[in-house]
Amino acid sequence: MEKFTCSELKEALKGIVEVGKDRVKVLDEQKVRDELIDRLVYTAVFGDEKEKACCRWLIRALALELDIVPASIHDLYVNGMAKEELGRWFTVPAMNIRGMTYDVMRQIFKIAVQEDMGAFILEIAKSEIGYTDQRPAEYTACTLAAAIKEGYRGPVFIQGDHFQFNAKKYAEDPEKELEAIKALTKEAIEADFYNIDIDPSTLVDYSKETLKEQQYHNYVNTAKMTAFIREIEPEGVTISVGGEIGHIGGKNSTPEEFEAFMEGYLEELKKLGDFAGISKISVQTGTEHGGVPLPDGSIAKVKLDFSVLEKIGEVARKKYSMAGAVQHGASTLPDELFHKFPEVKTAEIHLATGFQNIIYDHLPEDFKQEIYNWLKTELKNEWKEGWTEEQFIYKTRKKAFGKFKKEFWDLPADVKEKIMESLEKKFRFLFEQLGVYGTKEVVEKYVKPVKIYKERPY
């Protein structure tokens, strides 16, 4: 794939797109999809700074013109799910796409078009933004470009996942760590992330005597971040803000912990102003991000407590008008468990490593070994005592997506085809199990996205 230079781009748009000051007019949508969008998104990722800015703006303007609109899922959660007025329950999949982002997202939007699906989220975590080398503006460009390519229409939910406080840095300088999370959040919102999951659950202190004391730094900072988001969110948009009470990989959450957190959170938020609160709560049910690799590289079986999701979700809806509980670290769970999430009225489920594993399963052996050799050289300090090589590689290979980003994008067509076929099969299975086929109508009933135009950069 060749990227556009600015002069080539100007020539390529003739007869296809008219460019105005803050918006565009599409003259030939088919040519946008067939001739323009692949190179536009490639340049938005791999161009120089001016080329990136031009292409990212153009992708966004094209999306708005084609009624593909970045949106918040807040109203679906607090009006539809919280009141249990959906007709039937479904669990919203939130998918972290770490590599081959445009191609992978195309599979999701293709299914969405074919199956009238509207309830799905595309997200990237704070840590992933770093190690996959995907800043929010780039991630949004890939998301909207994939929607354009596949002919999708409607709201698009882009989410900042695990905007997590570093406990060590917070202990050293709480205000500095809070400001760092604010800076990332501001960058994300400016890049059309209208769904933000705040995560100070790393600050929960189980040594304290009462549940409320244990959750203190968690609820105080969740309230501060909620107020900050409300102050900077675009006019007409109520960003969906998520909270978290159980750090994933720790002990299982309880309804009592949740109520202690909410009591403190609502008190703190009230002090800061009359702001809409969080719309969902992430909890710990016994999973760990990416699963736990065994010495042979296989994944340990997890005992997941669905009653945590059910009980906390019920309290969230009945007492606090929230959508319910959110399950993290789920993509490596056994297939036979996924139908249970809608059964216990789980609001949202986060999926990441399982998709990454499918990509690695289909890589050419020479490329895979190049990556693994790089990991063993560059990340050897992350090799924990007692780990086998298989465990080390499984836990660290996610960090190769940034270093080898271009190589992943430029994989041969036949390799890409096999990867995408496997991913599409996995996505279809998950979407069916979670009940999100046919959700476009209910999403459009509750979500009224606002088109926000921005002046072109050059």
DSSP 375-396: HHHHSGGG--TT--HHHHHHHH
> CB-based contacts of 239: which residues, under 8 Å, 6+ apart?
72, 74, 189, 194, 195, 196, 229, 230, 233
* Class of residue 444 by CB neighbours under 10 A (exposed 0-12, middle 13-18, buried 19+): middle
pLDDT of residue 445: 97
Cβ atoms < 10 Å from Cβ of 456: 17
What are the tokens at 125? 């975590």
Is 350 in a helix, a strand, or coil? strand
pLDDT of residue 248: 55
pLDDT of residue 81: 97
At what angle are helices 136-149 and 174-190 packed, to 10 degrees? 30
In the chain, the domains with their CATH numbers are 6-65 (no CATH), 69-360+406-446 (3.20.20.70)
Predicted structure pTM score: 0.96
Cβ atoms < 10 Å from Cβ of 455: 9
pLDDT of residue 334: 87
pLDDT in tens, the chain (458 residues): 889 998 899 999 999 999 999 999 999 999 999 999 999 999 999 999 999 999 999 999 999 999 999 999 999 999 999 999 999 999 999 999 999 999 999 999 999 999 999 999 999 999 999 999 999 999 999 999 999 999 999 999 999 999 999 999 999 999 999 999 999 999 999 999 999 999 999 999 999 999 999 999 999 999 999 999 999 999 999 999 999 997 655 689 999 999 999 999 999 999 999 999 999 999 998 766 555 565 666 666 667 899 999 999 999 999 999 999 999 877 778 889 999 999 999 999 999 989 999 999 999 999 999 999 999 999 999 999 999 999 999 999 999 999 999 999 999 999 999 999 999 999 999 999 999 999 999 999 999 999 999 999 98
pLDDT of residue 298: 61
pLDDT of residue 328: 87
- Residue range 347-402, pLDDT digits in tens: 999 999 899 999 999 999 999 999 999 999 999 999 999 999 999 999 999 999 99
Nearest-10 Cα torsion for 419, 420, 426, 428: -170
Backbone phi and psi for residue 216, each to the nearest 5 degrees, phi listed first? -50, -60
HSE (side-chain half, CA atoms, 13 Å) at 30 = 0
Tell me whether strands 121-125 and 17-19 are parallel, antiparallel or unpaired: unpaired
pLDDT of residue 197: 97
HSE (side-chain half, CA atoms, 13 Å) at 293 = 20
φ/ψ bin of 136: left (φ > 0), alpha (ψ from -120 to 50), beta (otherwise): alpha
Q: Percent of the chain having pLDDT more than 90? A: 90
Comparing CA positions, the residue from 64, 57, 154, 141 lying closest to residue 97 is 141
At what angle are helices 365-378 and 389-396 packed, to 10 degrees? 90
